[in-house]
Amino acid sequence: MTVTIKPTTIALLATFGLALAAVAADLPPASAKTGVTYATDIKPIFDNSCVKCHSGDKPKAHLKLDSLENALKGGKDGKVLTAGDSAKSLIVKCVAHATSDPDSWMPPPHNRANIGPLTPEQIGLIRAWIDQGAK
């Protein structure tokens, strides 16, 4: 049996593949640190950059990042991380500004609290934490 693929289909698949590769390339690599935990490594990052908006009685997007349990629970759109797979975790894409929607970038540019973006090292720690099971 011979399968014929139209050139337009090949072009579409190639474009889609390049788009996926570009998003993955925008993510800083996971940290090489082992034994990364929420309490020791991630909570300080979230406390400085996230909990001003993602805690309390009315957290943005109903997402609380003030405890491990709340971070794992997710928000109004569901879970924001996939334990064991940081590259597929929404929270990583948002803090790395690796989404096509600037409204999902966290912290948002020009926010009222004047919080700057996370550093590649901080994002790398978050990736390592998630890749190591988000404990």
- Which residue do the tokens 């099971």 mark? 133
pLDDT per residue as tens digits for the range 68-79: 999 999 999 999
The token duo for 63 is 């997402």
Q: Where are the domains of the chain?
A: 7-131
Q: Which of 21-35, 37-51, 96-110 has the lowest mean pLDDT?
A: 21-35
Are the beta carbons of 126 and 91 closer than 8 angstroms?
A: yes
State mean pLDDT over 76-102: 96
Count of CB atoms within 10 A of residue 99's CB? Answer: 15
CA–CA dist 22, 99 (Å, integer): 10
The token duo for 41 is 């490594």
pTM above 0.85, yes or no: no
The token duo for 78 is 């569901």
